[in-house]
A and B are shown apart, each in its own frame.
Chain A
Amino acid sequence: MTDTPAPSTAGDIEQAQRREIDTPSSHVARFGADDALALDAGSTLGPWQIAYETYGTLNAERTNAVLVCHALTGDQYVASTHPVTGKPGWWTMMVGPGKPVDTDRYFVICANVLGGCMGTTGPASLNPATGRPYALDMPVVTIRDMVRAQTRLVEHLGIETLFCVIGGSMGGMQVLQWAANFPHKVFSAIPIAAGARHSSQNIAFHEVGRQAIMADPDWRGGSYLSDGVRPSKGLAVARMAAHITYMSDESLHRKFGRNLQDREALTFGFDADFQIESYLRHQGMTFVDRFDANSYLYVTRAMDYFDLAAEYGGSLPQAFLHTDTRFCVMSFTSDWLFPTAESKAVVRALNAAAANVSFVEVASDRGHDAFLLDEPELFRTVRGFLTGAAHARGIPAPGGAA
């Protein structure tokens, strides 16, 4: 990992963002045109690359690798400083020495997803055929394509079986896809705040975001990077709408209520009178600094297309038949984007396949984003489940004993 100093001025930030698209600060595995990736859309992608970070040490038996799958707009910097924003990794409470995903015990890998914009091939990457960014010439990718790309990386690192695949939200979808398609390569799996398909309501919210981006005059049919402009307003609106779905009414109310922002009275205009408005505008604006608009279109589409049962003739238990993977499914009581019922449907299917499954619902009022926040029950569960699985896999504890 290289810790580059975080850029400070707006120009620096934009430059840093552009640099990270093709030449990230993290490790990159590059695959040539002869090593092309076959995609669900029917086309192939090559040459292509996948950017990743690792933490801890791979043991001699190569049995202690944990793949962390990031959510929609996450990246490979799970436990290291983000090169554009300068902020700490997105899951530092979960991943690190002595943390539930203990890097003293496990070798942790986190890669930027296919279609992303932090060093893995996506619509912002340079298309070698044209010398310009792919934009909409990039084939649409699916969760399965993302997982295929990850399998190539894992092979590249010389790892046959992952000790665990863990992730929340879109990361949880990848976990389920891994377990269904590659049961022999996944010893244990922790899908958090996810489901086996993207619901109609979730697709609807994503469509609002995509339409906001495409309605921005600076989007220019997707070719904004070549034209030297950016659909920042559209992308910010997309992020604002999505951000609401990540929280619960209760947490919003507790945090903001109807409090006014920097003023004593209503202005009877359309400034950000309320704190919640100003908070959302800030979320939208800072997001634009670190994310690419076309990439947002691609990754939301990948989630929309996700329907694991459909891959198995409409039967979800069929996806997990004869699996030896140990599952720990987790949900949060106030998550209305991926409510507990979605997780329970996965658990029922796993039971029907006689799989080894645990299910924990964490009581939290913080909505979908709870998986990224300080939730002791979440950490206790992941730590306990992984410790039990490590015992079964014969991975010694940091102290020495198994």
Chain B
Amino acid sequence: MTTNTRMLQPRGDHLVVCDLVPEGARVLDVGCEDGALLRLLAERRHVDGRGIELSQSGVNKAVARGLSVVQGDADTDLADYPDDAFDVVILSQTLQATRDPKGVLRQLLRIGGLVIVSIPNFAHWRNRMQLLLRGRMPVTKYLPYQWYDTPNIHFCSIRDFVALVDELDATVVKAVALSGRGERITFNAPWWLWNLVGEQAVFLLKR
């Protein structure tokens, strides 16, 4: 693109996702906001990218930047897409805001050969401490909402998510835990430890 080449520092989880996407893939980003990840994927991975976004203002911004995005709701609109329509389907920090996470995940696995899901980890130690010591629902930099006005209605932990993937007979090909600053936690660790120290996690799944 010739105009507006202003590049902000890409988000840590976006960089992790980027590494998981094959060059030139057909990609659907569900809950793509203003298209920052799609743009990164187009620049670094030369993907044929599309997006779905709930807010019309996000959609309009993304389309005005030359990205292919439609307004839609992951809970209801994924059913429109045919089987295997995309090589990769991405759900970035959105699963916890869906009404039916299991149904959404099932649709994602149907539409895409590979599925990338990133989630905030509710079982992070900071959240556990807030609940344990203060007796209040956790409010952190990554979960900045009060319990009564949060769009996030279905929180899970890393271990909960892995259990759901098992239930859907899908496979975790790769998982990356991220620190609060969006940096990869590089050491190898069992799930229980990641579940404690990972503030977010990115999963690569396949059927």
Chain A residues close to B by CB (< 8 Å): 326, 328, 347-348, 351-354, 356-363, 377, 380-381, 383-385, 387-389, 391, 397, 399, 401-402
Contact = CB atoms under 8 A, between A and B. Distances in A.
Given A387-B3, A389-B66, A402-B2, 9 more contacts: A352-B80, A352-B82, A358-B62, A359-B71, A360-B63, A362-B60, A384-B63, A387-B1, A391-B2
B34 to A, nearest CB: 12
B66 A347 contact: no
B60 A388 contact: no
Contacts of B50: 356-357
Given A387-B66, A391-B66, A359 B2 contact: no
A228 B50 CA distance: 58
Given A358-B68, A361-B56, A361-B71, A352 B81 contact: yes
Interface string B1-36: 111000000000000000000000000000000000
A355 to B, nearest CB: 9
A391 B71 CA distance: 23
Contacts of B64: 380-381, 383-385
Contacts of A383: 64
Most interface-central of B56, B68, B69 (chain A CB within 10 A): B68
A99 to B, nearest CB: 15
Contacts of B60: 360, 362, 377, 380-381
Contact of B68 (A357, A361, A397): A357
A352 B77 CA distance: 10
B119 interface: no
B67 interface: yes
A60 to B, nearest CB: 20
B70 interface: yes
Contact of B59 (A348, A351, A359): A359
List the 3 closest A-B pairs by CB distance, nearest first: A388-B66, A384-B64, A354-B85
A361 B81 CA distance: 21
B66 A385 contact: yes
Interface of B: 1-3, 48, 50, 56, 59-60, 62-71, 77, 80-82, 85-86
5 contacts: A357-B50, A358-B70, A360-B71, A388-B68, A402-B2
B65 A358 contact: no
A358 B82 contact: no
A384 B81 contact: no
B80 A397 contact: no
B111 to A, nearest CB: 9
A357 B80 CA distance: 13
Nearest to A340: B71
Given A359-B59, A381-B63, A397 B2 contact: yes
Q: Dominant SS at the B interface?
A: mixed
Most interface-central of A352, A362, A389 (chain B CB within 10 A): A352
A387 B3 CA distance: 9
A326 B71 contact: no
Contact of B2 (A357, A381, A399): A399
B63 A354 contact: no
A352 B70 CA distance: 13
A353 B80 CA distance: 9
A385 B61 CA distance: 11
A388 B66 CA distance: 4
Nearest to B1: A391
Contacts of A353: 82
Contacts of B70: 347, 351, 357-359
Nearest to B65: A384
B61 to A, nearest CB: 9
A326 B65 contact: no
Nearest to B56: A361
Nearest to A387: B66
Contacts of B3: 387
Contacts of A361: 56, 71
A262 B48 CA distance: 60
A328 B63 contact: yes
Nearest to A398: B2
Contacts of B77: 348, 351
Contacts of B66: 384-385, 387-389, 391
B1 A351 contact: no
Contacts of B65: 384, 388
A148 B184 CA distance: 57
Nearest to A397: B2
A387 B56 CA distance: 20
A359 B1 CA distance: 20
A35 to B, nearest CB: 39
B29 to A, nearest CB: 13
A296 B160 CA distance: 64
Nearest to A400: B2
Nearest to A350: B70
A356 B80 contact: no
A352 B63 CA distance: 20
A380 B4 CA distance: 14
B1 A388 contact: yes
A402 B60 CA distance: 23
